[in-house]
Amino acid sequence: MKVAVLDSKGKDTGRKADLSDAVFAIDPNNHAIYLDVKQYLAHQRQGTHKSKERAEIAGSTRKIKKQKGTGTARAGSIKSPVFRGGGRIFGPRPKDYTQKLNKNVKRLARKSALSIKAGEKSIVVVEDFNLEAPKTKDFLQVLKSLGIDNKKSLVVLGDSNNNVYLSSRNLTQTDVVINSELSTYKILNASSIVLLEGSIAGIETNLTK
């Protein structure tokens, strides 16, 4: 698959990037996508939810009233769940939400997601660029030149680029990752995928192992 390479000002450089059909033009596997996205979302959960149960409440253990003759139900502890301030019955406990997923399934899911975006003509290839300083204004100008400043976008770098990463942190609709951090969820969640020219080889190598 041949895709035109643009510069950071959005102009055609006259060159073409060759995207591997084995990564960007496969028949998408929807079930693999579902499994990978489900795992990604599950791993975002901390699992630290906790409420105090009866044994964890601080309070006196004395019997609060006599057993019989009060006309009401018997009660032995102020920490009982039926009293205000008592422990909670069957409350949430810490839980590990991590899920295991085969590496081959994850690769298939990412290739499927990239193939979907390629089929939608949502992938833009831009020649490698750098910013002189971490300035959001400069990075936003690049997005405007590409016509994606008002869209959800995912920018994929070949190598770590601190100035570009820091320049994008204030933009809620733009995510910047290096090729090894690419995930199915981030690919599908973006309207436009911006691949820097230097990231293509790394993506294809990671997904065709």
Residue 106 has phi, psi (to 5 degrees) of -65, -40
Range 2-44+101-207 classified under CATH 3.40.50.300: no
Alpha carbon distance 10, 147 (integer Å): 8
Q: pLDDT grade, residue 209 (50/70/90)?
A: confident
Residue 4 φ/ψ, nearest 5 degrees: -65, 140
**Whole-number percent of the chain with pLDDT over 90:** 82
Domain ranges of the chain: 2-44+101-207, 46-96
Mean pLDDT of the chain: 93
Q: Amino acid letter at 82?
A: V
Tokens linked to 7: 């510069």
pLDDT digit string, tens, across residues 83-117: 999 999 999 999 999 999 999 999 999 999 999 99
**pLDDT (tens digit per residue) in 185-206:** 999 999 999 999 999 999 999 9
What digits encode the pLDDT tens for the residues 14-43? 899 999 999 999 999 999 999 999 999 999
Q: What is the pLDDT of residue 61?
A: 86
